[in-house]
Chain A
Amino acid sequence: MTGEHLMQILTLSNLIYGIMVLLAASLLVRYANNASRFAGRHLGRKGHWLEKLTVIIKFTVYAVALYIVVVIVFQPSREASIALLGGMAVAIGFAGQNFLENIFAGIILLFEHPFYVGDRVTAGGFHGDVININVRSTRIKTLDNSYVTIPNIIFIKEGVKSHNAGHISAMVTMYFYFRHQVDVKLVKQILWEATVTSKYFFPKEEVKILIREKEWYSQFVVKAYSVDVRKSESFRSDLIYNAKMAFQNYDSIYPDWGKVLGGEDGKVTGD
């Protein structure tokens, strides 16, 4: 492409139209985000699917905007298109490589759905709830209420662990340790009651209580679903509270951690 060709395409009016289209797309995306948040508030937690839909809308709006700018506004000739692609390749090779890499990663996330908005994920060394999947990056709210922006390529390169895979409820696993001599039936009943009476318990899924024999203690594993992935930590805390309150009426049920660890006596009921 010669400089003359480029000048023919990059006229002031074309540039203004292009910018306007991109601005309109950006506004549309913002409205979609706001509408999703508004509907989410009014539909309660059932509005979860709207957040997923918003991600698709965002990608579609940007793709259509790009198409309009390139094909309709600039209307490049065949030679110009080839030259543009060549230019893009050069750009990718240099400054824009990371940027485009993240955008392509965003498109892969859109189709593969390794997680959805609202999911609790662990990725890039962070653990939290996905609050926004953008074209280039994904925003996560960590459990200590910090906001982290993770480039999309991290999810592709390093992998991501989704704790609820698009569902609102999420499984919580809790470990409890007792002496070998403990009344197994009683412990199981108390752990079951502590679970099913928690306000964060999701009753549509079965509660599983498994027992494992270890050298120094009997391990009880409680697997149950929290009503909302965002309430998983509250569910865990509630379960420990309920169980500890009930077990405090019984003596000598916990392992003698002093002997196990060779230090002072201690009691541990959950982790």
Chain B
Amino acid sequence: MAEELPVSFTQNLPLEELINKWIDSNLDQMLTSYLTALGNWQNQRQSSFALVGFNGQGRNKVLARLTSEQGVAPLCCPAKVTNKKDFQGIIAPDGLDEKEDLASYLDDTRKLVVLEDCQNLMLKTVGGFEALNEFLHIMSATWDRVFWVTSWERTSWLYLEEIMDIGKYFTTVVYLKPVESGQLQGLIEGMIAKLGYGAQYDKGFFGELTAANRGLLSACHYWLLKEARLIKERNILFNQPKYSIEGMDKLNERETYALVSLIQNDGLNASFLSLVINEEPAVCEQILEKLMRMNLCTIRKGTYFINSVILPQILDYLEKQRYVYLAI
């Protein structure tokens, strides 16, 4: 007799712990790349570092682990930064707007700049690249005195890669790897055994789970628990979910493009969305509310983000409609 999973079980199989375990098993390789880039810079060779990962992949956690030895507090672009003055305000006090002054300031105070969520320096509209261009100018002008370590959301990075070849500005680019089926299976079985449960699933279950979710750990975790049931003798039965998102094909062109904009800009509020899709803010509010009702996006501090646990399915649909192009 199959039952719902007990709350105690779902609480004890948290995504956070899964991500940490995954980071532990993958950190060495990324650390090697990071230390090589750092070593190059210390030897007066041009060097800068970019870490690229989806939301829910633990991008900034990895960045913190990589730079922990240097003990540098990261700077963050928490929300959209649309002009160069605001960007300068993030990396230096007000009043320093000449590149040479900024370089000297960073040379004196930091030398190593860790900048998280750089995708927020871009808004996909005319005039929305000012902060990003300023960042790239300052980084290019200061590479011999400052080591730049940055993190980027992957879909925004891919958009920037396609339109302006952003990767050429960084000597080292590390993409957070998708989780492999064997690795996921090992992680899950280990955690379940620790809780005193057993697991049952069809052959190929984890292969299908990772393939349907492009190896995105948070998405795998969501679908894994969605259809899981408790059966006798403390066994968990993992059923194959359908991975379907209802109602997406009913979205009109404007709503679909709003969804694309949320992905490519990594979160927007109604006023920013109105600049991106050229609609009134009130209309954008309605669109965002509709996307929320459909569970396609979530809201955090007034900013709407794509629901990262169903991102792979949303991307599948949008790729089919030729709205986004992702080779992952």
Contact = CB atoms under 8 A, between A and B. Distances in A.
Contacts of A241: 278
A46 B124 CA distance: 26
A204 B159 CA distance: 10
B322 A168 contact: yes
A44 B127 contact: no
A197 B265 CA distance: 11
A80 B159 CA distance: 68
A45 B277 contact: no
Contact of B129 (A45, A193, A203, A228): A193
A242 interface: yes
Interface residues of A, number: 21
Contacts of B129: 193
B126 A204 contact: no
Interface residues of B, number: 20
Nearest to A199: B257
Contacts of B126: 190, 193-194, 197, 242-243, 245-246
A44 B162 CA distance: 22
Nearest to B165: A206
A196 B260 contact: no
Contacts of B87: none
A65 interface: no
B123 to A, nearest CB: 9
Interface in B233-281: 257, 260, 276-278
Interface centre among B124, B127, B277 (most CB of A within 10 A): B127
B128 interface: yes
A43 interface: yes
B260 A203 contact: no
Given A197-B124, A197-B125, A246-B126, A203 B321 contact: no
A203 B320 contact: no
A204 B322 contact: no
A270 B190 CA distance: 63
Interface centre among B128, B129, B163 (most CB of A within 10 A): B163
Contact of A228 (B164, B276, B322): B322
B205 interface: no
Interface in A176-232: 190, 193-194, 196-197, 199, 203-204, 207, 227-228
Contact of A204 (B260, B320, B321, B325): B325
